[in-house]
């Protein structure tokens, strides 16, 4: 049986990027995606400047920006009936100082097309994995649901928050918790944009992402309340949404089926690896949607994994002793981002979701950001570039 250097379980952004970088280094890589295509609505579509830096380092930013996308350069909040400008990405010193709102299937198609230029790369669609091949000492590959087996010297789990490593309890998880869930929907766009907008009132929270010709909206609700709210019917939900954002045209929102539930989770593996196996992205750390940074943190994981492992794997050296280096490299930004998300969830969103008197004014920090353009660059940098962003340092075995 032909043994691969690397199997990647999961064909999302982290999985395909990892497969691409390891194949670029000369490894024989197979990426396994359980679905037959990439077409999913309301998956993470926010490609941040930190990710576009990676694409630029690979020499592909111009090609990437030819794909359909919409650019966001600022963040605005409406509190107590007044608009406040709280974030600005346009002054970042980076090749693409904006968030590119690109359908995830476009991003994945782009990565796949680039990856397929490397002879060691293969992507198998409609290939759900049933189990890891575990001989009691190390993971040696995977068994697919059709019974076939694929063996590899290293397996990367990049299959999201419902990862097989979580379902089979192969690695320990620390749960941080979340007080909220999100109902996603889209409506026709009215008004101008290039911004992420938030509508904040006591008991009602709504985020609106400008997608060019429509708004992608996130109606934030208390944890576990989705079925109760849907049981009240679409008219009751429309009224609640209209109270948060009366300017929205909700005519296309005709059924509760138009709202897609995201069950928010915030957790992380305390150990990301065991011999022959490494978890990255949401498989290693499920992120809150706050800031839309999950995809970008996962991409950074993939880059770090390739930087630390790809050369040794391509040279057929044992990498088990290096797997912990990936976790050590990426645990700090994971902890810092999740700590920030948890604080916002618990101290801001959780409190605002509770009944109470109407808000009469914005907090002092919001007022300060609105008043000081230089300070608005700070949240823009944190969201756009994150903490400890990676550079592509893995080898290119096919460089001219």
pLDDT in tens, 261-281: 989 999 999 999 999 999 999
Predicted pLDDT at 42: 53
Check whether 307 has a pLDDT greater than 80.
yes
Read off the pLDDT band of 12 (50, 70, 90). very high
Predicted pLDDT at 43: 64
* Antiparallel, parallel or unpaired: β 99-101 and 277-279: unpaired
Read off the pLDDT band of 36 (50, 70, 90). confident
Identify whether the C-beta of residue 87 lies closer than 8 Å to the C-beta of residue 376: yes
Which of 20, 4, 24 lies closest to 12 in space, CA to CA? 20
* Over residues 348-358, mean pLDDT: 87
Half-sphere exposure of residue 203, counting CA atoms within 13 Å on the CB side?
6
Read off the pLDDT band of 40 (50, 70, 90). low
Identify whether the C-beta of residue 272 lies closer than 8 Å to the C-beta of residue 290: no
Predicted pLDDT at 1: 52
- 225-234 pLDDT per residue, tens: 999 998 999 9
Exposed, middle or buried, 61 (CB in 10 Å: 0-12/13-18/19+)? middle
Check whether 214 has a pLDDT greater than 60.
yes
CA–CA separation, 296 and 381 (whole Å): 13
Identify whether the C-beta of residue 360 lies closer than 8 Å to the C-beta of residue 79: no
Predicted pLDDT at 38: 78
**Least confident span in 54-68, 197-211, 325-339:** 197-211
Predicted pLDDT at 310: 98
Q: Which residue has the tokens 């904040």?
A: 200
* Antiparallel, parallel or unpaired: β 70-72 and 99-101: antiparallel
Instruction: Name residue 131's beta-bridge partners.
Output: 143
Predicted pLDDT at 87: 92
Predicted pLDDT at 58: 97
Predicted pLDDT at 143: 96
Predicted pLDDT at 153: 96
Q: In Å, how far are 14, 222, 228 from 356, measured between CA atoms?
A: 41, 14, 20
Predicted pLDDT at 192: 61
Higher pLDDT pick, 393 / 382 = 393
Length of the chain equals 400
- 275-301 pLDDT per residue, tens: 999 999 999 999 998 888 889 999 999
Here the tokens at position 123 are: 């992507």
Which of 119, 94, 160 lies closest to 22 in space, CA to CA? 119
* Over residues 148-177, mean pLDDT: 94
Predicted pLDDT at 251: 85
Which of 396, 294, 234, 394 lies closest to 50 in space, CA to CA? 294
Predicted pLDDT at 201: 86
* Antiparallel, parallel or unpaired: β 214-222 and 204-210: antiparallel
* Over residues 325-331, mean pLDDT: 97
Predicted pLDDT at 159: 95
């Amino acid at each position: 049986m032909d043994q691969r250097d690397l199997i990647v379980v999961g064909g999302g952004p982290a999985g395909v990027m990892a497969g691409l970088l390891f194949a670029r280094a000369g490894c024989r890589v197979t990426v396994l995606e359980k679905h037959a295509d990439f077409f999913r609505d309301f998956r993470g579509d926010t490609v941040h400047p930190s990710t576009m830096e990676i694409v630029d380092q690979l020499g592909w930013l111009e090609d990437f920006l030819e794909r359909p996308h919409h650019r966001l350069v600022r963040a605005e909040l409406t509190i107590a009936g007044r608009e406040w400008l709280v974030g600005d990405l346009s002054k970042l010193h980076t090749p693409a100082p904006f968030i590119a709102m690109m359908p995830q299937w476009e991003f994945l198609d782009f990565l796949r097309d680039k990856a397929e230029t490397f002879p060691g790369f293969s992507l198998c669609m409609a290939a759900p994995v049933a189990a890891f091949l575990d001989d009691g000492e190390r993971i040696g590959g995977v068994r697919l649901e059709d019974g076939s087996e694929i063996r590899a010297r290293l397996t990367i789990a990049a299959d999201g928050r419902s990862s097989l490593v979580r379902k089979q309890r192969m690695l320990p998880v620390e749960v941080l918790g979340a007080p909220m869930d999100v109902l996603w929907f889209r409506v026709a766009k009215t008004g101008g944009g290039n911004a992420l907008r938030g509508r904040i009132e006591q008991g009602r929270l709504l985020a609106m992402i400008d997608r060019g010709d429509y708004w992608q909206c996130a109606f934030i609700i208390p944890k576990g309340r989705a079925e109760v709210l849907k049981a009240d019917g679409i008219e009751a939900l429309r009224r609640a949404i209209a109270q948060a954002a009366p300017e929205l045209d909700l005519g296309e929102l005709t059924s509760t089926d138009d709202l897609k539930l995201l069950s928010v989770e915030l957790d992380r593996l305390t150990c990301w690896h065991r011999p022959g196996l490494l978890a990255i992205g949401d498989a290693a750390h499920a992120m809150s949607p706050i800031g839309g940074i999950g995809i970008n943190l996962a991409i950074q994981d993939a880059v770090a994994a390739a930087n630390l492992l790809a050369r040794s794997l391509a040279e057929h050296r044992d990498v088990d002793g290096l797997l912990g280096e990936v976790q050590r490299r990426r645990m700090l930004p994971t902890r810092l981002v999740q700590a920030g998300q948890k604080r916002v969830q618990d101290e801001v969103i959780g409190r605002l979701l509770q009944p109470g008197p109407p808000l009469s004014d914005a907090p002092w920090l919001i007022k300060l950001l609105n008043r000081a353009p230089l300070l608005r660059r700070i949240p823009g940098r944190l969201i756009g570039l994150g903490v400890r962003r990676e550079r592509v340092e893995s080898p290119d075995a096919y460089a001219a």
